[in-house]
Structures are given as C-alpha cells and as structure tokens.
Amino acid sequence: MSAAMERDDEAVQRYAEQFGNVLAEMGWPRMSARAFAAVLVSEDGRLTAAELSELLKASPAAISGAVNYLLQLRLVTREREPGSRRDVYVVQDDFWFQSMVSQDRGLGRWEDILRQMLPVTGTATEANRRIRASIGFIEFIQEEVEALTARWVIRKAEIDAKIAADDGR
C-alpha cells in the first residue's frame, strides 16, 4: 500500500489538534498553534488561508492573525499559487532550524539594548546586576546556538539519509 492510502486523515486531525493544544499551553496564541499544526500535518505542507479557515472552522480574520504570527517566527513562509492571487502558507523542510536562527538574531538585539542600559543603571545596583546576568545568559545561549548549528548540519544529513532509506529512495 502507498503512504497516501495508509493515511488516516481523521486521526491526523485529532493529533494535530492535540499538538496545537500543547503549543497553546506553552504560550502560543491558540489559533496560531492550531494553524501551525494543520499546515505541518497537511500532505503537501501547504494550505491557503481559505483551507485553514475551513479546516479549523475559523474566520478569515482569525486565520490572518494566526499566520502572521507564524510568519514572524519563520515557521511558515508565504508563497503565491501559480496563476492566482491566493497566498499559500508553507512549512519549509528546515523550519525549526530557521526559526531558531531567527530567534538567535533577536537575542543579539536584546543584548545590544541591555549593553546600552548598563552605564545608566549605576555600577553597584541590583538593576545593573540583573542586566549583567541577562547579558551573560544571552552570550551563553548565542555560543550554544553556534555549536548546535554545527552539530545540526551533521545530524540533519544523517536524518535525511535515514528518511530516504526508509522511503526506499
């Protein structure tokens, strides 16, 4: 049997809803979490706003807000359907990595602003201590992300090879 024939769409949707609920419990906006899960489990990894609206029983305005959040996090990209004015929201192959790299760039901006605050908070104040600790944490995370990135490149090649072998390619 082919993979498409084995797919249980009803079960896929149930698990997608559960995944969306977990993301929402972690602080994601609920509709963004549901939309992300829906695109993630869609067969092609791509859905239009209309398809999301129908699938999630949500208004176009709710879908618009949801996908804008996902676009900001770089978890989906927006593409145009060929010959149409419709936007399609797409999960890229390496979306988790791209989102992490994007967040890492944001940390650099945080660090810049915190460094600007240091001189005006006084040298022996609690505010200065908290800011220095925050900068130290951000520097640590940035160093770890660099190391993770290098390890991820190697690991992703291993994962891709295993997926290809499992799929018989």
Q: Where are the domains of the chain?
A: 3-90, 95-166
Reading the block at residue 154, the tokens are 């190697």
The DSSP call for residue 162 is H
**Model pLDDT, residue 98:** 76
Place of tokens 């995944």: 19
Using the predicted structure, report yes or no on whether residue 1 has a pLDDT greater than 60: no
**Model pLDDT, residue 5:** 60
Q: Which of 68-72, 98-102, 144-148 has the highest mean pLDDT?
A: 68-72
**Model pLDDT, residue 4:** 47
Pairwise pLDDT comparison (69 vs 6), residue with the higher score:
69
Contact 64, 71 (CB under 8 A): no
Mean pLDDT value across the chain? 89
pTM of whole model > 0.85?
no
**3-90 — its CATH code?**
1.10.10.10
Using the predicted structure, report yes or no on whether residue 62 has a pLDDT greater than 90: yes
Pairwise pLDDT comparison (95 vs 135), residue with the higher score:
135
Radius of gyration of the chain (CA): 20
Contact 138, 106 (CB under 8 A): no
Weakest-pLDDT range from 37-51, 52-66, 89-103: 89-103
Weakest-pLDDT range from 21-35, 75-89, 114-128: 75-89
Q: What are the pLDDT digits (tens) for 17-55? A: 999 999 999 999 999 999 999 999 999 999 999 999 999
Using the predicted structure, report yes or no on whether residue 107 has a pLDDT greater than 50: yes
**Nearest-angstrom CA–CA distance, 22 and 152:** 25
Contacts (Cβ under 8 Å, ≥6 apart) of 104: 141, 142, 145
For residues 62-82, average pLDDT: 91
How far is the CA of 143 from the CAs of 139, 147, 150, in angstroms? 6, 6, 11
**Model pLDDT, residue 169:** 67
Using the predicted structure, report yes or no on whether residue 142 has a pLDDT greater than 80: yes
